[in-house]
Amino acid sequence: MAYILWDNIGIDLFIKEYEPDFWQSYVALPILVERVDAFRVAALRWFGGVYGDVDTKPLRHPVSWIEPLDLEPWQDEHENRTYSLSSVSDGSTYLPPLSAPPFYRDLNEMPSNESPRVGSSPRIGAIVGIEADIPPETDRYGHAGYQYLLRVTQWSLALAPHHPISTRFIEPVDRDIKSLQRQNRLQEAYAVDVTGPGNHRTSPSVGSWKGHAKL
């Protein structure tokens, strides 16, 4: 795997080049962590791959992040529902925008007669961890300091280029930033709500965590 280390200058240049319509909102964000929140998803949108904060260390190689167990149906005891790859996918396809280089279009195109499974493995387009799933009826771990009892990770995630999770991220964040600016509330807003996993407009819907999750 190729590794790219992004510094602050590189992040700014990336947003200017790849997300120019978002630039004014990006520079209006008062703290660096909010800018990085937006950058990480935008970078995966255009390049795909695995993002990790510089202070994270993978305990396993990303190639081994998906195991056979993760592809099996699983029972959510809290919701009394069974989830599977077919239950969370509506069968729709996604393609990069017309402005994307041919490489990205070729990477995502799949002939209509080709199975969504490659060999014995399904195509996995997103891997998102869960950093908090605390039962609301208990005070377990003092809720571990989390404002939200269910939170997905942003400090490490993996997406295919132009995955729907990334393509639907920037626009609502942009709207929320502009709205907070008009109300003169951007400086005091909680980063987790503005650009982080607490933003209900952008966070994927995730069932209760019972060992593994799939997107």
What is the DSSP secondary-structure string of 57-124? --SS-GGGSS-GGGGS-EEETTTTEEE-TTTT--S------TTS-HHHHHHH---TTS-SEETTEE--
Query: How many residues belong to the chain?
Result: 215
Higher per-residue confidence, 210 vs 150: 150
- Judged by average pLDDT, the poorest of 44-48, 130-134, 210-214 is 210-214
**156 falls in which pLDDT band (50, 70, 90)?**
very high
Q: Give bridge partners of residue 159 from the DSSP assignment.
A: 49, 126
| Confidence (pLDDT) at 115 | 41
pTM given for the model? 0.74
175-205 confidence digits (pLDDT tens): 999 999 999 999 999 888 888 876 656 554 4
Average pLDDT over residues 131-135: 76
* Calpha distance 173→127 (Å, rounded): 21
* Calpha distance 98→64 (Å, rounded): 33
Give yes or no for residue 144 having a pLDDT over 60: no
Average pLDDT of the chain to the nearest whole number: 77
For the chain, percent of residues with pLDDT exceeding 70: 69
| Confidence (pLDDT) at 89 | 59
- Measured CA to CA in angstroms, residue 100 lies from 16, 46, 73 at distances of 16, 8, 35
| Confidence (pLDDT) at 213 | 37
Average pLDDT over residues 91-106: 58
Average pLDDT over residues 119-124: 57
Task: Kindly give the pairing relationship between strand 150-159 and strand 74-76.
Answer: unpaired
Give yes or no for residue 61 having a pLDDT over 80: yes
Assess contact for 26 and 186: CB atoms under 8 A: no
Give yes or no for residue 34 having a pLDDT over 60: yes
**105 falls in which pLDDT band (50, 70, 90)?**
low
- Measured CA to CA in angstroms, residue 157 lies from 7, 58, 154, 198 at distances of 19, 11, 6, 16
